[in-house]
Structure 1
Amino acid sequence: MSGIRAEAFAKRFPRLFHMAEAGSWPSIQHHGLLSTSALLDLFEVRGEPRVALEARHRPESVTLHHSRHGTAVVRDQKPMDDRGLLRSLSGGLSPTDWYQFLNARVFFWVSRERLTKLLNARAYRDKRQTVLTVDTARLLARHEERVLLSPLNSGATKPFPAPRGPDTFLPMARYSFSYWDQKRKRREPVVELTVTHSVPDIRDFVLRVEEYVGGQPDTLIFEAR
């Protein structure tokens, strides 16, 4: 049987994790958790500068400036590149297609192990990071219809580009949860939970906001009562 119900998913993965740019919590509280595309909409980025950020590889993070909204950072895509995507994509998808798809979604890890691995990655471990811990059940209760699940780290092609294509991301009702659960011996049947465009009411689901340094929590910024 394919698919998993929201209640069962939240029981298996009661917490979601999102790593954001250090210092971004005030903006997230105000605007919500935005995908790259939603952030570019907010900052009114158009034309070639938008194409460069939304449809091509970003080897480095880019800081945006706006007269009303201040600054925001579009994060790099160091773990991914065109060469790896060309080797791994199927279904007629191009690297541009993949970048645009990823940039249109907000991403959450479903396990703390994946978060820890990212925090300790070479590109990020020496920088401060803001980490949101989110209540899975409450988020799904409001946004399940915009959720897609992935069995892999869709933003990485290094060191080995795992195969990916049109069916990598699927809604909960169609996701092959039992298959991946058995194949991986109950380890990581899901790697990513994504939400289309944005989670404008993310503050309603956040349990903790912490700043991490060197892969370890350093400062508690917010904790829900």
Structure 2
Amino acid sequence: MEIKELISIYPTLYHMAEFGSWENIKANGLLSTSALLDLYKINGQKRQQIETCHRSESITINCQGLPTAVVRDQKPMSDSALQKVLLDNLTPADWYRILNSKVFFWSSYEKVLKLLNARAYRSKSHDVIAVDTASLIKNYSEKIFLCPYNRGSTIMSPVQRGKDLFKPIQEYDFLYWKKKRGRAQAVTEVCVEGGVDNMLDIVVNVKQMRQQEILATLHS
């Protein structure tokens, strides 16, 4: 896929974050779970559990001098379902490590709305962050990967997934997915290895939302 194509078709990307987390994200970056654990100096058994085990609920972490942070749950996944679809001899623990090394953005507003309205999240409020795709690529092109599926879900009819699910932009077979799904649905997620540390350089707006209702605008 060409970079200019990605920017043209998906000019804005979206991330659903924990309610009230924007100020921390603004100060310290939108970090992957592993990078967040580094920042909060979480090690040992607690870190291993967070990085390699399924999180049925969100986990609160603390570190002196930093605000309380929340590691989000992984409710749409399960070990048993993953075991049926993982390739390359990956285990569920391997898959959780892979996911925890990245930050994920939805390629459209409709996709983040679907998550906001999902059973596990519809009763809660969330900070929804919109970022400019061109600015993200300008700052993080070497760390960006594209994904054709919701890599964090094994609900309904889960697809097989392995080490090559995430492709660098220029290695992503956009024509294949465009033919299979249509132009707007050819990319589902854009992910960044490690996360984004300069959010103010790429953010378009931040809104607190519950389902499709906008409760407040935190940044515009």
Provide the TM-score with structure 1 as the length reference: 0.95
Q: Superposed, which structure 2 residues align to 1:130-141 within 5 Å?
A: 130-141=127-138
Match of 2:171 among 167, 174, 180: 174
Q: Is residue 65 of structure 1 aligned with residue 62 of structure 2?
A: yes
Q: CA deviation digits over 1:142-187, x for unaligned, max 9? A: 1111001100000000122211112111101111111000111334
The size of the alignment, in residue pairs, is 220
Q: Is residue 99 of structure 1 aligned with residue 96 of structure 2?
A: yes
Equivalent residues of 1:86, 1:95 under 8 A apart: yes
Q: Measure, in 1, the Cα distance between the counterparts of 2:184 and 2:129.
A: 23
Q: Amino acid of the residue matched to residue 49 of structure 1?
A: K
Q: Measure, in 2, the Cα distance between the counterparts of 1:144 and 1:5.
A: 12
Q: Amino acid of the residue matched to residue 108 of structure 2?
A: S
Q: Measure, in 1, the Cα distance between the counterparts of 2:47 and 2:173.
A: 35
Q: Secondary structure at the match of 1:173?
A: helix
Q: CA deviation digits over 1:188-212, x for unaligned, max 9? A: 1110000001100121110101000
Quote the residue 1:145 is aligned against.
142
Q: Please report how far the alpha carbon of residue 215 of structure 1 lies from its aligned counterpart in structure 2 after TM superposition.
A: 3.0
Q: Amino acid of the residue matched to residue 166 of structure 1?
A: K
Q: Amino acid of the residue matched to residue 121 of structure 1?
A: A
Q: CA deviation digits over 1:24-59, x for unaligned, max 9? A: 111011101101001101111101100110011000
Q: Measure, in 2, the Cα distance between the counterparts of 1:191 and 1:214.
A: 20
Q: Secondary structure at the match of 1:161?
A: coil
Q: Amino acid of the residue matched to residue 169 of structure 1?
A: F
Quote the residue 1:52 is aligned against.
49
Match of 1:213 among 204, 210, 213: 210
Q: Measure, in 1, the Cα distance between the counterparts of 2:54 and 2:203.
A: 30
Shift in CA distance, 207/187, structure 1 to aligned 2, threshold 3 Å: closer
Quote the residue 2:32 is aligned against.
35
Q: Aligned-residue CA RMSD in angstroms?
A: 0.9
Q: CA deviation digits over 1:41-88, x for unaligned, max 9? A: 111110110011001100000111112112000000000011111011
Q: Measure, in 1, the Cα distance between the counterparts of 2:51 and 2:212.
A: 28
Equivalent residues of 1:89, 1:164 under 8 A apart: yes
Q: Measure, in 2, the Cα distance between the counterparts of 1:214 and 1:57.
A: 25
Structure 2: gaps of 5 or more residues: none
Q: Measure, in 1, the Cα distance between the counterparts of 2:159 and 2:184.
A: 17
Q: CA deviation digits over 1:68-118, x for unaligned, max 9? A: 112000000000011111011111111111100000001000011110100
Provide the TM-score with structure 2 as the length reference: 0.98
Q: Secondary structure at the match of 2:26?
A: helix
Match of 2:82 among 81, 85, 105: 85
